[in-house]
Structure 1
Amino acid sequence: MLKNLVIIGLVTLFTSGCATGLNSQQSAEYNSMEARGLAVQEKNPTTGALLGILPGGGSFYAREPAFGVLNLLFWPLSIFWDPVSGYDGATRINYNFSKAQIDKEKRAAETKLSRDYQDGFITETQRARGMRDIEDKYTY
């Protein structure tokens, strides 16, 4: 019975011990955000990887407390996967934070442009040109 619990625990830990990184599409989007200067760094992936050497540190840093506790329990074995978990988790946080920030800034720019048009400060042509410029700026 104890042997089965240990096996189940190890299988669970090894299959879910690492934070999920970005898929290929998200990775391409995030690289594009970085290249265009739109990415925001909420967490440092290198710090997440370094903290992964500590018991559960990478997972806690990546806002995965349940995995942090599991990695804490399985330390020192967890130093094989928790640095990856911390790095991937921080990158995922940065991707999500950047995406939300870009959407927020885009909506604010569009709202300002629409208000300027409604208040008569700009023409329809200027509004259309402004909307294209906003789309170009915030597309990644």
Structure 2
Amino acid sequence: MKFAKIIMLNFAFLTLSGCVGGLTDRQDREYAAFENDGVLVEEKTPTLGALLGVLPGAGSFYTGNPGRGITNLLLWPFSILWEPVNGWNGARKINYDMTAYRLKKQHEKELLILEFQYKNGEIDNNEYYFKLQRLTQKYQYQY
């Protein structure tokens, strides 16, 4: 009886902890903005992640979560309830993170170029602040 309780508690814990959380509301809005602006870096396909999630642990393996993949493989067929969601959410998180990283690096690079132009006298004060404002607007994402 005690052994059965331990197994049930472990199963409940694994079931409740098995899901990859989705993006926050802010990240979800930014993700949509990335898509609309054509800057989304799609490293992983959410639909493919969800479809692979029908197979035991495959959605988690696809999104680089081998620990969850093994757990979900062991919990199959129950894991089919959450594994497609893991694949979908995991792919979107990867895409969000990669897009935010790329935009941050591009922003930093463009700021350095602008600073270099200003310090070398290639542009004056007014042009510098105008270009700085345009650059800020261009990278309006929160990343």
Normalising by structure 2, what TM-score? Answer: 0.91
Identity among equivalent pairs (%): 39
Unaligned runs of 5+ in 2: none
Secondary structure of the 2:129 match is helix
Aligned equivalent of 2:36: 35
- Which residue of the partner structure matches residue 47 of structure 1? 48
Q: Matches of 2:132 and 2:117 in 1, distance apart? A: 12
SS in 2 for 1:37: coil
Aligned twin of 2:81 = 80
Q: Secondary structure at the match of 2:44?
A: coil
Letter in 1 for 2:12: V
Provide structure 1 residue ranges, at least 5 long, that are not aligned to the other structure.
none
Question: Which residue is equivalent to 1:57?
Answer: 58
Aligned mates of 1:79, 1:91 — CA distance in 2: 19
Give deviations 1:76-132, integer Å, cap 9, x for gaps: 221121011000011011111111111110000000011011112111111111111
The aligned residue for residue 126 of structure 1 is 127
CA RMSD of the aligned region, Å? Answer: 1.2
1:112 aligns with 2:123: no
Rounded Cα–Cα distance in structure 2 between residues aligned with 1:92 and 1:132: 30
Q: Which moved more, 1:10-19 or 1:84-93?
A: 10-19
Normalised by the length of structure 1, the TM-score is 0.93
